[in-house]
Amino acid sequence: MRCLVLINPNSGRAQEAEGAVASLRDAGLEVEIERPKDLTAARGLIKRRAADVDAIVVAGGDGTFHGLAERLVAARKPLGILPLGTANDLARALHIPNDLKQAAKVVAAGRRKRIDLGRAGHTLFFNVATIGLGAEVPRFHRGERKRHLGILSYPISLWLAWRQNRSFRARIECDGTTASGRFIHIAVGNGPNFGGGLVVDEDCRIDDETLYLYAIKPVGLWRLMRLAPWIRAGQLRPWPEVLTLRGKRISVSTPGHRRRLNLDGELNGRTPRVFTVEPKVLEVFVPRAQV
């Protein structure tokens, strides 16, 4: 199998990816390595080289996969995932190990499955879209805090965002069901994980052709902390402070103020937005248990 391997040179773990590439070669794969300077260069490489390889392997974090989503789908080649990021929520959803050499073994084993992607307007996303509290977290989840604290930086950034976040009016439509009210946070999941292990819904799978929404109504900090273990686990349906819906098409509008939208941890436009699911559009290498 001939693989095009793209390594994000800006990742703090980029050097570790070299060992993973060696594991691919040891397994008998023919490997061509590229280290694109940015996402634009990476998209260009995929467009030019996809026809000449059997698979595309990307070493990067969730932001890298998000930025390459359209091009990866268009390439029609199976995707190998080497998780280099802080949260690695896409890899988590597929049970791909964080250890890069173990992740390389998943690619070398050759087992594949097809997964869904979500679409927010015209933009594809792998994991989760957030509005409100979750969309404000990236303002705090960066730089020295993210670099030094790693995955622990997300809950700290979440608390800082909560201090400045205000509730907002929203109208939500899901496959014919309509809900309106004030909320502090809305999440729409194609895949189950976001924020380094938070779960949008315990039933959510990245290949079940369904979107999952939860929306938190205005609550105080102590109540939010009490809800936190269930929020993290995606076990939200018993709680009156949380609205949960699931379906194929979800629209969210925020009358009076266009709210920021976060897709896969990256800020990407504002409301209103329509979310749909693109079923089974990308083939990925996965561990045996996921086939």
- Go through the domains of the chain in sequence order and give each one's CATH number: 2-110 (3.40.50.10330), 123-279 (2.60.200.40)
* For residues 210-222, average pLDDT: 91
Stretch 105-111: mean pLDDT: 96
Residue 85 has pLDDT above 70, yes or no: yes
What was the pLDDT predicted at 94? 97
- Cβ–Cβ < 8 Å for 100, 13: yes
Give the pLDDT of residue 15.
Answer: 79
* Helix (H) or strand (E) run with residue 81 in it: strand 79-83
Q: Give the three-state DSSP class for 78.
A: coil
Task: Report pLDDT for 239.
Answer: 83
Which tens digits make up the pLDDT trace of 55-64? 999 999 999 9
Query: Residue 72: is its pLDDT beyond 60?
Result: yes
Give the whole-angstrom CA distance, residue 82 versus residue 91. 8
| Residues 66/42, Cβ–Cβ less than 8 Å | no
pLDDT tens-digit readout, 15-48: 788 889 999 999 999 999 999 999 999 999 999 9
Task: State the DSSP string of 170-203.
Answer: EEEEETTEEEEEEESEEEEESSSEETTTEES-TT
What pLDDT was estimated at residue 263? 96
Model pLDDT for residues 139-188, shown as the tens digit of each residue: 655 555 455 545 555 566 666 766 666 789 999 999 999 999 999 999 99
Question: What confidence tier does 291 reach under pLDDT thresholds 50, 70, 90?
Answer: low
The 8-class DSSP code of residue 217 comes to P
pLDDT tens digits, one per residue of 229-283: 888 788 887 788 999 999 999 999 999 899 999 999 898 999 999 999 999 999 9
User: What tokens appear for 214 in the block?
Assistant: 């939860």
The distance in angstroms from the start CA to the end CA of the chain is 20
How many whole angstroms separate alpha carbon 37 and alpha carbon 6?
10
As a whole number of Å, the CA-based R_g of the chain is 19
Burial class (CB in 10 A: 0-12, 13-18, 19+), 203: middle
